[in-house]
Amino acid sequence: MPPVTTTATAAASTSPEVPADGLVVVVKQDCPTCRLVAPVLGDLGATVYTQDDPAFPPGVAVRDDTDLDASVALGIDVVPTLLRREGGRETARAEGWDRATWRELSGVADLGADLPEWKPGCGSRTHDPAVADAMLVRARGHELAARRVELAGLEDEAEALYDRGWTDGLPVVAPTPPRVLRMLAGTTRAPDEVVAVVPPNLVPATVEKVAINAVLAGCRPEYLPVVLAAVEAACAEEFNAHGLLATTWGAGPAVLVHGPIARRIGVNAGGNALGQGTRANSTIGRAVQLVIRNVGGGRPGEVDRATLGQPGKVGLCFAEDEEHSPWEPLSVERGVPAGASAVTVFASEGPRGVVDQISRTPESLARSLAVALRGVGHPKLAPGFDAVLVLSPEHVAVFDEAGWDRARFTTTLAELLLLPPEELARGADGIEEGMPEPTRPHPKFRREGLMVAVAGGGAGKFSAVLGGWVGGPGGSSPVTRIIEEA
Amino acid sequence: MHDLAALEADGIATTFVASSEFVTATDAQARALGFASVPAVYVAHPIQDRTDPEMAALADEALPRVLAAVTGAPPTA
C-alpha cells in the first residue's frame, strides 16, 4: 500500500543531463520492438537510455532512466525512439523501428539488414498509469505544504483515517499527494491562497487544505471550484457557522448550486435530487462539512452540541433545475447575474416531504404549501427559523399554468403565512410553547427568510421543506457566492 | 471563547456563563485555543424553559462565582 500523506514528498524534477549533440535512443526492455532493435544499438554511436531495466540492452553502455526524467525531458511518447540533437535542440526523430529512417538518421547504410523493414513501437513508460502518480509528485509535489502523515504498511487505510478522527464516520478517500495534486488541477487558484478562516477554531483554510478535504469526501477535481465557493460562503460572518455548529438545534450547512456549472459537473437537480446516488450531490456538501471538522475543529460531542442532528449533516447538496423551471432562477433573485454559476449555503435540516396530489389551482396548492411551511421549528413560533421550499416540477407547473411567476407565488405565501396572534400565544391550543403575549399578526418567516428553488423528478405532486435555523443576526443568514471557474 | 481570548489579550478580565451541558464544548474550544484553564461559570441546565423568577434565581446563585471569575486568576495557557 502506498504511504498516505498530505504533503509534498519530493522537490521539483530536476532537468537531467541529456546530450546536446548526437544521437539518442530511448528503449525499454518490456517492448518487443526494443528487443528487436537491441542488436543494432551498439552500431549507432548513440546515447542509449533505458526506461525499465538498466541491464538492457545487454552489451551496450546505457544510461539508467528508470526515474524517467530524461524521457520526460526528451518528450518521449513511444519506444524505441531515435533522436538526433544538435546544439541542444532536437533536429530529427524516428518512433518505432523504421529501417530507412533509422539508416538516414544514423548514417549507417547497412543498419539492421537482418531486421524487418518496419515495426511499430510501444508506449513510453511515461504514459504508464502505474508511474504517472510518481511523476506528478516529482513535478509538482513542491506545491504542497501540508504535513506528511505516513501509515504503517499493515494499517488498513480506511480504519487508519477513521482512527485519526478525519472522517464523519463514513470511509474517506486517502488524500495522497497525487490525489491532492489532481484535485488542485480543478482550480487555477494557488494552493497557498487562503480561502476562508474556518470556525470554530478560526483556522485559515488554504486552497490546498480544501482540496485535501475534497479528496477525503470523494469529490472529482471539477467539483473543487464549487467546494471552494461553498467553504467561503459557509465561513462568511453572516452565515455564523460557529453558532450553527454550537447550537443544540440539528441544522447544518447545505449547498445549493446555481448556473451552468451544475449541469457541467453533474449536480443532480432532477429525480432524487435530495437523495443518494449522485457523486457531486453526495460529496460536495460532505467536503464542506469535512473542512469544518478537519480544519476548523468542529466535531460532534465537542463544539457541535446538536441534540439530535440529522443525516443531512453528513453533507447536503443539490442544484436548482434552471433548465426546466418556468421561473427566474433563485440565484437571480439573490443578485447573481443570469447565466453565472454560484452557490448558496444555508442552514438546513433534512428535507420533509409535502403531499398535495389533488390541488389544480394555484390558490389551493399555495395554501397546502403554507400549512406545511408553518410547521418549521414549531407552528406557533413566528418569525424564527428560515426555510427553503423545494418545489417539484408538477407543483411548479400548477402555478406556471395559471400565470403565477416567482414573485406572485412568494408574495402569496407570505400573505398566507401572516399568522394570527391568538394562534401563536403561549397556551393557545393547550400548548405551552408559543409566543409571549403576541398582539398582532406575525409573519412566519422574516423578510428573505424563505427561499424557493425548483428541483425534482418529473413525476410526483410532492415538494419538500428544508427547515433551517434562527434566521438573521443572532442566527444564520444564507450566503451566496459566485463560483470562480478556470 | 474567542471573545474571551480577545478581551483577556487586551487586559480586560472576562468570564462567560453557560449551562452545564456546555462543559465539554468549552473544554474542546479551550484546548484548540491553547488555554489550560478558563474561568467559566456554569449554571444548571436547562435554560430555555425557565420562567423569569427561575432565571433570576439562577443569576443570583451564579453571581458570586461570576465575580470570583473576573477578579481571580486569569486564564492560563
Whether residue A246 lies within 8 A of chain B, CB to CB, comes out as: yes
A93-146 confidence digits (pLDDT tens): 999 999 999 999 999 999 999 999 999 999 999 989 888 888 889 888 999 999
% of chain A at pLDDT higher than 70: 97
Q: Is A196 helix (H, G, I), strand (E, B) or coil?
A: strand
Best mutation target, A302, A426, A432, to test chain B (most B CBs within 10 A): A302
- Residues A210/A287, Cβ–Cβ less than 8 Å: yes
Q: Of the candidates A113, A128, A117, A6, which has an alpha carbon nearest to the alpha carbon of residue A79?
A: A128
C-alpha cell at position A372: 406545511
Q: Which residue has the cell 402569496?
A: A412
Q: Is the ipTM of this complex over 0.95?
A: no
The CA distances from residue A165 to A158, A159, A250, A295, in Å, are 11, 10, 21, 12
Measured distance CA(A65)–CA(A71) in Å, rounded: 7
Measured distance CA(A256)–CA(A64) in Å, rounded: 53
pLDDT at A143: 93
Task: Give the pLDDT mean for A71-90.
Answer: 94
Whether residue A433 lies within 8 A of chain B, CB to CB, comes out as: no
pTM, 2 dp: 0.84
B34-67 confidence digits (pLDDT tens): 888 888 999 999 998 999 999 999 999 999 999 9
Mean pLDDT of chain A: 94
Half-sphere exposure of A213 (CA within 13 A, CB side): 28
Do B32 and A200 make contact, defined as CB atoms within 8 angstroms? yes
| Separation of CA A92 from chain center | 43
DSSP code, position A209: H
Q: Which amino acid makes up residue A369?
A: L
3-state secondary structure A341-370: CEEEEEEECCEEEEECCCCCCHHHHHHHHH
Strand segments, DSSP code E, in A28-173 are 47-50, 62-64, 78-79, 81-86, 89-95, 97-98, 118-119, 122-123
All structural domains of chain A, each given as residue ranges with its CATH number in brackets, are 22-129 (3.40.30.10), 214-482 (no CATH)
Partners of B24 on chain A (C-beta within 8 Å) are: 301-302
For chain A, give the number of residues.
Answer: 486
Quick one: how many helices (H) and strands (E) in chain B? 3, 2
pLDDT at A16: 67
pLDDT of A310 > 70? The answer is yes
Partners of A202 on chain B (C-beta within 8 Å) are: 2
Q: For residue A14, what pLDDT band results from cuts at 50, 70 and 90?
A: very low
